[in-house]
Amino acid sequence: MIAALALALLAAGLLLRARGEDVPAVAGATPAAKRTLAPELAGTPLVPPPVSLRALRGKPVVINFWASWCLPCRKEAPELARFDRELRARARLIGVNFQDAKGDALAFVREFHWRFPNVRDPRGTLAGRYGLLGLPTTFVVDARGRVARELTGAQTFAKLVRAVNEVK
């Protein structure tokens, strides 16, 4: 029963996002004392190299869940490419491709000239671990590997920079 409800909420959020409608974002960073470790991104790399959140500790990590069929994901794709180019020294960006055909996902990555690592999530396993309710969704992980912020909807470069700056 609970699993069916969670699946229904996920489907509703994905439908709203796929149509370009926004789902309210969670405001502000989670206080450091209440943060929990981010689930590891175990999965098949779509764009190498394989990633390990444990290995990336020491600086913030931005994890973006996306799909090629998601219109808001297309809108934010150039912003993510810019973030990766301009802030790679300060924060790492990792993409998680959600329930997408591999060929479509690779075409999307090429179209937007993404150079950051991406992991495939064809069955939604990682999405479930993160409690994903829609696409696109971005999680900001602090330097200690804990989820500090969740951003829903298409993000801009400025919003991503602000979110990383808030997470100390």
State percent of the chain over pLDDT 90: 76
The H-or-E segment that residue 74 falls in is helix 71-87
- Domain spanning 2-166, CATH class: alpha beta
- Is pLDDT at 18 greater than 80 in this prediction? no
Average pLDDT taken over every residue of the chain: 87
pLDDT band at 27 (very low <50, low <70, confident <90, very high): low
Q: What is the pTM of this model?
A: 0.84
State percent of the chain over pLDDT 70: 84
Nearest CA-CA partner of 53 in 44, 62, 41: 41
Contact by Cβ (8 Å): 17, 95: no
Q: State residue 26's pLDDT score.
A: 41
- Is pLDDT at 23 greater than 90 in this prediction? no
**Rg for the chain (alpha carbons), in Å?**
15
pLDDT band at 140 (very low <50, low <70, confident <90, very high): very high
SS3 30: coil
- Mean pLDDT for 130-143 is 97
